[in-house]
Amino acid sequence: MDDNRKSTSTLAALAKGAGIVTATGLGIAAGWTAWSALFIDHRRDLPPAIRANRYVTATPLSGRLSFYADESASGRPLVLIHSVNASASAYEMRPLFDHFRGSRPVFALDLPGFGFSERADRNYNPDIFVQAILDFIDGELSGSDPVDIVALSLSSEFAAIAAVEQPSFVHSLTLIAPTGFSTNTPSASERAHRAVSFPIWGQGIYDALVTKPSIEYFLKKAFAGPVDPGLREYDYGPSELLPRFCRDHDNWKMVCLEGTKAMPHFERREDTAAAIEEFLATAPGALTGG
């Protein structure tokens, strides 16, 4: 057999092999999609993420927003905002809610599409989340002092934009493991949204992302030690420019807690809360709880 025939034969074998692999992958995907549609309970009851009174407020753009509140103390309101991932909810801010309740008014918001908040079929772009934060403050905390916000991961960006758009609403920002201090572009997240929102396989993709092994895998990236078991179970039911930025802005402070990753308030709750309290105490016009 000459070289050309060998080459053609090899290419044909590779093409046949690629076809088998593709067909197998499509078969697995189709099987999972069918399993998701027929055997996964998408209407299971979700327990409260935080042991506190839960309320619902209506907003014009983001629909019905759920939030937890403890207003047993007076002072400047503290608003806690969870991250954005496949199974995020106010549970992610539960350690800080439990720490600060009773010392000042504290609120934990379920962003649109998460927790008990409305999950309408819409494009969940940054504007939706920014406006949800502003509508919540304007609708539920109007007349109060400007709020202190503690936001986690990607929601740090939404909280920062909200503060820029309505500076009179926000007294300070505390950002835990913040994103937005890198050169990454949003194109990947936009492509992911288009894939997950496709009606035929979108639910199946989501169900694959929120299986227990998948949740455990991604949470391990956020914890330096063992994953908090309560967060893992609740999840199943539902940056390189920062140091330079802080050096260039006197009103910013950066604190790193050793032995933690993206969830320091779970692994070292009291140290995280102490760092937040120290920052808030030095913020201009600081108000203390009573």
Tens digit of pLDDT for each residue in 109-160?
999 999 999 988 888 889 999 999 999 999 999 989 999 999 998 899 999 9
Query: Rounded to the nearest 5°, which phi and psi values hold at 111?
Result: -65, 160
Q: Which CATH number fits domain 53-282: 3.40.50.300, 3.40.190.10, 3.50.30.50, 3.40.50.1820?
A: 3.40.50.1820
Instruction: Band the pLDDT of 189: cuts 50, 70, 90.
Output: very low
Assess whether pLDDT exceeds 90 at residue 171: yes
Strand 53-59, strand 63-70: pairing: antiparallel
Report the amino acid identity of residue 125. N
Assess whether pLDDT exceeds 80 at residue 55: yes
Q: What is the pLDDT of residue 32?
A: 44
Cβ pair 171, 203 in contact under 8 A:
no
- Neighbour-count burial of 69, counting CB atoms closer than 10 A to its CB (0-12 exposed, 13-18 middle, 19+ buried): buried
Indicate the range of 26-30, 47-51, 148-152, 273-277 predicted with least confidence. 26-30
Name the nearest CA neighbour of 215 among 195, 240, 199, 236.
236
Encoded tokens for 14: 């590779």
Residues sharing a CB contact under 8 Å with residue 247, sequence separation 6 or more, in sequence order: none
Give the C-alpha separation, 163 to 148, whole Å.
10
Give me the residue spans of the domains in the chain. Answer: 53-282
Q: What is the pLDDT of residue 179?
A: 81
Encoded tokens for 15: 């093409």
Strands (E), 18-133: 53-59, 63-70, 78-81, 106-110
Cβ pair 210, 87 in contact under 8 A:
yes
Q: What is the pLDDT of residue 284?
A: 74
Instruction: Band the pLDDT of 251: cuts 50, 70, 90.
Output: confident
Give the C-alpha separation, 277 to 279, whole Å.
5
What does the DSSP assignment read for 24-41? HHHHHHHHHHHHHHHHS-
Give the C-alpha separation, 109 to 52, whole Å.
12
- The model's pLDDT over 215-243, given as tens digits with 9 standing for 90+, comes to 565 566 666 777 777 766 665 556 456 77
Assess whether pLDDT exceeds 80 at residue 161: yes
Cβ pair 106, 97 in contact under 8 A:
yes
pTM of the model: 0.69
Assess whether pLDDT exceeds 80 at residue 21: no
Q: What is the pLDDT of residue 261?
A: 72
